[in-house]
Amino acid sequence: MSFERKKILVLGAGYAGLQTVTKLQKLLSHQDADITLINKDEYHYEATWLHETAAGTIDWEEGVYPINKVIDTQKVVFVPAEVTAINKDEQQVETTQGTFDYDILVVALGFESETFGIEGMAEHAHSLVNPQTALAARQEIERNFAKYKQSNDDKDISILVGGAGFTGIEFLGELVESIPELCQRHGIDYSKVNITCVEAAPKMLPMFPENLVDYAMDYLKDRGVNFMVGTPIVAANENGFVVEVDGEKQQLEASSIVWTAGVRGNSLMDESFDGVKRGRIMVNAELLVEGYDNIYAIGDVAAVMNNEASRPWPTTAQIAMQLAEHTAKNIQLSLKGEKLEPFSYNDRGTVCSLGSKDGIGLVMGREIKGRKAAFMKRVIDSRAIFKIGGPMLAVSKGKML
């Protein structure tokens, strides 16, 4: 190729950032570009497995792997550092390990918890945003159940879950598997345990048809979960949630409180770009930030339009990885001086697990539930690892064995 070596800088090693880098290292030779990946941790974590860590059905180490395991160090420089500023007009990124220049920038800085201004939520509830926060939620639950033997306080064996979206339901599915084991360990009668899920919206899991939602709800209710749907949480405190029922405020009590109802893009986006809403910036069809033909935004920090629905696609691991592959291809095209291609999302479907043996899903337009859905979830989780890290990593970290 007859062009000068460009500096490609990728920020973030979640699904979007790491997939971009692993694709670029296949598409480009060492002579084509200098590729640098910056991520604050030395490992990648499977964000879609955090609910399992929080429920204690997997150890946190099972859902992470070293970034150096999947990058070609002959082609990619990995810098473990936190990004502190993006200076788009100077084409520079500031980090805790110094300043980096770029010709092409890929911003894939991931998500943060969003509490929508609910008073006390950030202080009193655990969120599932990384392995540390998920592990903290798990340790809190275990501590409280262990404490129950002395306290005999029902609060200690009560768990409040904020949100009946995808993460909330998957977390509940894991809880109803792990909590009976925890009860057995501490000699607690499981029928005394109180697991309550509070959801402000009138229905849960809006991405699924009603019959599948009913299946999930019945599955969880049969295993002791209480649902308060159409019930806004107005505050969180040391005793639990304050909710509004028929215009009246009501205190729900629990020692373990977990918030799953909201994520937003990285707050550095708000500081670095104009027109950012909840950490997400609208990108064009080629996934570029408006006014900058060398800055791509993908994953949780990007709003990618679904033109048929006139709203952005939801931010999922599936779309993040497709955005990443497309970005890598477009970078290759730009280095060749060729026209960039517009992104087109291939929605293969969605599966929501209910623990390790059950679930619901819409796959290629077909409804699935039960063990078939659970199997499909394992396929999806293992495929994500295979796409980034290849067969060896899929064997060691995937869920098919």
- Given a cut of 70, whether residue 3 has pLDDT beyond it is no
Closest-CA residue to 274 (of 290, 286, 256, 261): 290
CB atoms within 10 A of CB 122: 14
Tell whether 215 and 143 lie within a shared domain: yes
- Cα separation, 378 vs 395, in Å, equals 12
> What is the structure's pLDDT at 181?
96
- Cα separation, 107 vs 297, in Å, equals 5
Candidate list 170, 174, 199, 325, residue with the active-site label = 170
Token code pair at residue 97: 């390990």
* Cα separation values, 225 from 20, 105, 192, 309, Å: 40, 45, 12, 34
Asked if 301 and 279 touch (Cβ cutoff 8 Å), the reply is yes
CATH code for the domain in which residue 239 is found: 3.50.50.60
Q: Which amino acid is at 150?
A: Q
Instruction: Confirm whether 253 is a catalytic residue.
Output: no
- Is residue 117 within a helix (H) or strand (E), and if so which, with residue range? none
- Cα separation, 347 vs 351, in Å, equals 12
Q: Rounded mean pLDDT of 199-215?
A: 94
- Cα separation, 193 vs 225, in Å, equals 9
The per-residue pLDDT for range 56-97, each reduced to its tens digit, is: 999 999 999 999 999 999 999 999 999 999 999 999 999 999
- Cα separation, 251 vs 241, in Å, equals 6
Token code pair at residue 218: 């019945």
- CB burial of residue 108 (10 Å; 0-12, 13-18, 19+): buried
Instruction: Out of 322, 347, 372, pick the residue that ends a domain.
Output: 347
- Given a cut of 80, whether residue 46 has pLDDT beyond it is yes
Residue 170 lies in a domain: yes
Token code pair at residue 55: 């429920």
Tell whether 233 and 279 lie within a shared domain: no
Residue 119 lies in a domain: no
- Cα separation, 21 vs 49, in Å, equals 22
Domain housing 161: 126-259
Could you give the percent of the chain with pLDDT greater than 70?
Answer: 99
> What is the structure's pLDDT at 183?
97
Tell whether 338 and 372 lie within a shared domain: no
Residue 1 lies in a domain: no
> What is the structure's pLDDT at 1?
42
Q: How many helices (H) and strands (E) does the chain have?
A: 9, 27
The per-residue pLDDT for range 378-400, each reduced to its tens digit, is: 999 998 899 999 888 888 888 87
Residue 233 lies in a domain: yes
The per-residue pLDDT for range 111-157, each reduced to its tens digit, is: 999 999 999 999 999 999 999 999 999 999 999 999 999 999 999 99
Closest-CA residue to 389 (of 30, 67, 51, 32): 67
Residue 118 lies in a domain: no
| Phi, psi for residue 130 in degrees, rounded to 5 | -160, 175
Closest-CA residue to 12 (of 380, 279, 397): 279
Tell whether 274 and 316 lie within a shared domain: yes
Residue 78 lies in a domain: yes
Residue 190 lies in a domain: yes
CATH code for the domain in which residue 275 is found: 3.50.50.100
> What dihedral do alpha carbons 273, 277, 278, 283 form, nearest 10°?
-70
Residue 301 lies in a domain: yes
The per-residue pLDDT for range 309-331, each reduced to its tens digit, is: 788 998 999 999 999 999 999 99
What DSSP character marks residue 165?
Answer: S
Tell whether 105 and 50 lie within a shared domain: yes
The per-residue pLDDT for range 222-233, each reduced to its tens digit, is: 999 999 999 999
Tell whether 152 and 249 lie within a shared domain: yes
Tell whether 202 and 137 lie within a shared domain: yes
Q: Which amino acid is at 176?
A: V
CB atoms within 10 A of CB 401: 8
Tell whether 140 and 226 lie within a shared domain: yes
Structural domain count of the chain: 3
Tell whether 46 and 93 lie within a shared domain: yes
Q: Rounded mean pLDDT of 40-50?
A: 95
Tell whether 136 and 251 lie within a shared domain: yes
* Cα separation values, 325 from 19, 27, 319, 340, Å: 7, 10, 10, 13
Asked if 280 and 264 touch (Cβ cutoff 8 Å), the reply is yes
| Nearest-5° Cα angle at 124, 264 to 201 | 50
- Cα separation, 235 vs 243, in Å, equals 7
70: Cβ contacts below 8 Å, ≥ 6 apart: 18, 22, 44, 388, 389, 390, 393
The overall average pLDDT reported for the chain is 95
Token code pair at residue 226: 């209480």
Instruction: Out of 200, 230, 259, pick the residue that ends a domain.
Output: 259
Confidence of residue 2 (pLDDT cuts 50, 70, 90): very low
Q: Which amino acid is at 16?
A: A
Tell whether 332 and 223 lie within a shared domain: no
Asked if 158 and 226 touch (Cβ cutoff 8 Å), the reply is no
Tell whether 246 and 330 lie within a shared domain: no
Instruction: Out of 216, 240, 259, pick the residue that ends a domain.
Output: 259
The per-residue pLDDT for range 247-297, each reduced to its tens digit, is: 999 999 999 999 999 899 999 999 999 999 999 999 999 999 999 999 999
